[in-house]
């Protein structure tokens, strides 16, 4: 019994350290619904904050892109305006240089003339002085009388009297010539001074113009440098602009084609009627001539007096009919020629062509040409080619499009929210695009400088009129026609 108890106690002592060293794992903390809700709210707030930050960055990037695009457009417009101004300034400087050269040539010739006149004047003064001295020596009446009466005979005395009289007249004439020569010298001197004043004024204008040109070039170079750094944006905008312009040109071409086809059909119908009228006149003339030939034949074959009288009467009638038919044919031909010569299209075409280079600008108020005709480049702008079917003219708010010549409104239509007006001047056509409102209607006659409509602002707030010219289907350079 004791032995069993001892063994039990010993086993218990041996097991006690192991039990003490083995720790019971802590019970798992249970997740409540309140904790889950709190975590979900934190995640949602974090996601909303990230989304807001992304949206803010997106808007900021879009704003910067918009500002860059606006800056590119503004600089591109400025470069085009400056490029046009620089071209005109160079022309003005060349004109001033030419005028200064001509004035200098005038001054040189005037100086040569002045030197000649002064020499001539000096010579005349010396001669006149000698004559005055001689006259003073012989100025007394007594000396003159002695000179006359000391003649050997009456004839010599008369010659001496005539000599004194003519010499007196000669001296007066010399005095007058001296005065005229002095006046010539004074006038020439004044001309030289005036020419020099003009030269000085032109040189001052020339220096100002060159300084202004240099400022324009510097400003242009700065803007071109900016554009060269953003060539991708520049080319993108030019591509978008030219895409719109091509679509507009295609629409204009389509309408012009319709109008030309209608005009061709009308002309063909008019010619057909004229040809029919001419054929009818020719038929009548041929019939009259045939009748006359029959009458002449009948007259030759007539035997009796009655037959001869009838044949004579028939021949006279046939002859009258031939003359009448010939007159009708002549009148019809002259009428057609007169119609062609006096038609509005014929007159307008001739008058329009005669005014090449003298047509007024198709815009009211101050303006700048920001787009030239044809394919061209801007100095300093790399890898950028511009193309235009007309010219782009930038005006001010309230600017209006106006007719460059008398004509008829052939079409008024809308395209991309803007009005386009087309005028026909005989075989010539002018096109005015970019109007927000119009004052004319199809078929209306207009006069030179008559207002056609108001120019609208584009998305950048610019007031630009696009102006094109055609002769039938052939495009024309407006810059060669307007002044």
| pLDDT (0 to 100) of residue 390 | 92
Kindly list the distances between the CA atom of residue 174 and the CA atoms of 119, 164, 377, in Å, as whole numbers in the listed order: 16, 15, 70
| 250 located within any domain | no
Domain-located, residue 77: no
In the block, residue with structure tokens 């004047």: 121
Q: What integer is the mean pLDDT of 356-367?
A: 93
Number of domains in the chain: 3
Provide the β-strand partners of residue 476: 469
Q: Are residues 324 and 378 in the same domain?
A: no
The per-residue pLDDT for range 109-145, each reduced to its tens digit, is 878 877 777 777 777 677 767 766 665 555 555 566 6
Based on the domain organization, do 393 and 358 belong to the same domain? yes
Determine the longest span between alpha carbons in the chain, in angstroms: 217
User: What pLDDT does 19 receive?
Assistant: 45
Give the model confidence (pLDDT) of 240-265 as tens digits.
Answer: 777 888 888 888 888 888 888 887 78
CA distances from 322 to 293, 296, 308, 458 (A): 11, 13, 21, 70
Tokens of 375: 């394919």
Parallel/antiparallel/unpaired status of strands 428-438 and 451-455: antiparallel
| 419 and 354 co-located in one domain | yes
Encoding tokens for residue 156? 């010599």
| Residue entry with tokens 């032109």 | 202
CA–CA gap between residue 394 and residue 463 (Å, rounded): 6
CATH number for position 201: 1.10.287
Assess whether pLDDT exceeds 60 at residue 11. Answer: no
342, 373, 397 — which closes off a domain? Answer: 342
Answer yes or no: do 148 and 198 share one domain. yes
Distance CA 464, CA 453 (A): 13
Q: Which residue has the tokens 């009258």?
A: 320
CB 468 within 8 A of CB 252: yes
Specify whether 333 is located in the same domain as 360: no
Residue predicted with more confidence, 452 or 167: 452
Boundary-marking domain end, from 342, 366, 395: 342
Q: Are residues 353 and 320 in the same domain?
A: no
117 found inside a domain: yes
Residue ranges making up the domain that contains 278: 265-342
Q: Which of 404, 410, 392, 403 is nearest to 458 (CA)?
A: 392
In this structure, are 197 and 302 located in the same domain? no
Same domain flag for 332 and 354? no
pLDDT of residue 436: 95
**Model confidence pLDDT, tens digit, residues 89-100:** 777 778 778 877
Last residue of a domain, one of 327, 342, 357: 342
**Location of structure tokens 């990037």:** 61
Q: Let me know if residue 443 belongs to a domain.
A: yes
Residues 6 or more apart whose Cβ sits within 8 Å of residue 110:
188, 191, 192, 195
Strand-pair partners of 421: 412, 432
Q: Each residue of 145-166: pLDDT tens digit? A: 666 667 777 777 787 778 777 7
* pLDDT surpassing 90 at residue 476: yes
Residue 118 placed within a domain: yes
- Residue 361: Cβ within 10 Å count: 19
Q: Tell whether 46 is covered by a domain.
A: no
Torsions phi, psi for 466 (to 5 deg): -100, 120
**Pairwise pLDDT comparison (81 vs 277), residue with the higher score:** 277
**Residue 240 burial (C-beta neighbours within 10 Å; 0-12, 13-18, 19+):** exposed
- Contact, 318 vs 295, CB < 8 A? yes
Distance CA 368, CA 390 (A): 14
User: 6 or 57: which carries more pLDDT confidence?
Assistant: 57
Alpha carbons 456 and 472: distance in angstroms, whole number:
28
Average pLDDT, the chain: 77
User: Do both 444 and 476 map to the same domain?
Assistant: yes
Q: List the CATH number of the domain containing 381.
A: 2.70.70.10
Confidence of residue 378 (pLDDT cuts 50, 70, 90): confident
pLDDT above 60: residue 271? yes
Q: 3-state secondary structure string, the chain?
A: CHHHHHHHHHHHHHHHHHHHHCCCCCCCCCCCHHHHHHHHHHHHHHHHHHHHHHHHHHHHHHHHHHHHHHHHHHHHHHHHHHHHHHHHHHHHHHHHHHHHHHHHHHHHHHHHHHHHHHHHHHHHHHHHHHHHHHHHHCCCHHHHHHHHHCCCCHHHHHHHHHHHHHHHHHHHHHHHHHHHHHHHHHHHHHHHHHHHHHHHHHHHHHHHHHHHHHHHHHHHHHHHHHHHHCHHHHHHHHHHHHHHHHHHHHHHHHHHHHHHHHHHHHHHHHHHHHHHHHHHHHHHHHHHHHHHHHHHHHHHHCCCHHHHHHHHHHHHHHHHHHHHHHHHHHHHHHHHHHHHHHCHHHHHHHHHHHCCCCECCCECCCCEEEECCEEECCCCCCCCCEEECCEEEEECCCCEEECCCCEEEEEEEEECCEEEEEEEECCEEEEEEEEEEECCCCCCEECCCCEEEEECECCCCCEEEEEEEEECCEEECHHHCEC
Each residue's pLDDT tens digit, 173-210:
766 776 777 787 788 778 777 877 877 887 787 778 77
Give the pLDDT confidence score for residue 439 in this predicted structure: 94
Nearest Cα residue to 238 out of 77, 67, 127, 44: 77
Predicted pLDDT at 139: 54
Q: Which residue has the higher pLDDT, 64 or 90?
A: 90
Examine residue 157 and state whether it is found in any structural domain, yes or no. Answer: yes
Same domain (yes/no): 357, 467: yes
Does residue 93 sit in the same domain as residue 224?
yes
Least confident of 55-59, 63-67, 228-232, 368-372: 63-67
Judge if 317 and 371 occupy the same domain: no
Judge whether residue 13 has pLDDT over 70: no
Q: Please check the confidence at residue 338 and state whether its pLDDT lies above 50.
A: yes
Average pLDDT over residues 410-420: 90
Is residue 295 in some structural domain? yes
Most confident of 282-286, 319-323, 445-449: 445-449
């Amino acid at each position: 019994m004791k032995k069993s108890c001892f063994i039990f106690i010993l086993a218990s002592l041996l097991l006690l350290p192991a039990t003490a060293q083995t720790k019971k794992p802590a019970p798992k903390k249970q997740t409540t619904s309140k904790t889950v809700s709190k975590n979900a709210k934190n995640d949602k707030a974090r996601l909303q904050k990230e989304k807001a930050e992304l949206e803010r960055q997106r808007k900021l990037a879009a704003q910067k892109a918009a500002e860059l695009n606006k800056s590119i457009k503004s600089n591109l417009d400025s470069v085009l305006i400056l490029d046009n101004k620089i071209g005109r300034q160079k022309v003005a400087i060349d004109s001033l240089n030419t005028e200064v050269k001509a004035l200098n040539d005038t001054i040189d010739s005037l100086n040569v003339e002045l030197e000649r006149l002064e020499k001539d004047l000096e010579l005349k003064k010396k001669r006149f002085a000698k004559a005055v001295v001689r006259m003073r020596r012989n100025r007394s009446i007594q000396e003159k009388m002695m000179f006359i009466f000391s003649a050997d005979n009456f004839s010599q005395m008369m010659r001496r009297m005539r000599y004194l009289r003519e010499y007196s007249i000669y001296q007066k004439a010399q005095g007058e010539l001296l005065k005229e020569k002095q006046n010539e010298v004074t006038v020439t001197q004044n001309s030289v001074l005036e020419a020099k004043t003009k030269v000085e004024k032109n040189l001052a204008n020339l220096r100002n113009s060159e300084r202004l040109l240099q400022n324009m070039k510097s400003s242009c170079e700065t803007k071109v440098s900016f554009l060269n750094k953003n060539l991708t944006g520049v080319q993108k905008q030019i591509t978008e602009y030219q895409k719109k312009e091509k679509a507009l040109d295609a629409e204009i071409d389509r309408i012009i084609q319709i109008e030309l086809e209608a005009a061709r059909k009308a002309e063909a119908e008019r010619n057909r009627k004229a040809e029919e009228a001419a054929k009818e006149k020719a038929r009548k003339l041929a019939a009259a001539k045939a009748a006359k030939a029959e009458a002449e034949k009948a007259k030759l074959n007539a035997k009796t007096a009655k037959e001869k009288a009838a044949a004579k009467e028939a021949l006279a009638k046939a002859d009258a009919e031939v003359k009448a038919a010939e007159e009708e044919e002549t009148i019809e031909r002259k009428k057609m020629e007169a119609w062609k010569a006096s038609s509005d299209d014929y007159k307008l075409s001739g008058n329009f062509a005669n005014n090449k280079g003298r047509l007024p600008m198709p815009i009211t108020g101050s303006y700048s040409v920001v787009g030239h005709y044809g394919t061209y480049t801007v100095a300093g702008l790399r890898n950028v080619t511009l193309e235009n079917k007309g010219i782009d003219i930038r005006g001010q708010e309230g600017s209006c499009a106006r007719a460059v010549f008398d004509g008829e409104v052939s079409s008024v239509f809308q395209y991309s929210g803007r009005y386009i007006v087309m005028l026909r001047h005989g075989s010539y056509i002018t096109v005015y695009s970019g109007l927000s409102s119009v004052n004319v209607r199809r078929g209306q006659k207009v006069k030179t400088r008559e207002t056609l409509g108001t120019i609208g602002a584009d998305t950048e707030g610019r007031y630009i009129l696009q102006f094109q010219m055609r002769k039938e289907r052939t495009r024309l350079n407006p810059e060669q026609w307007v002044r």
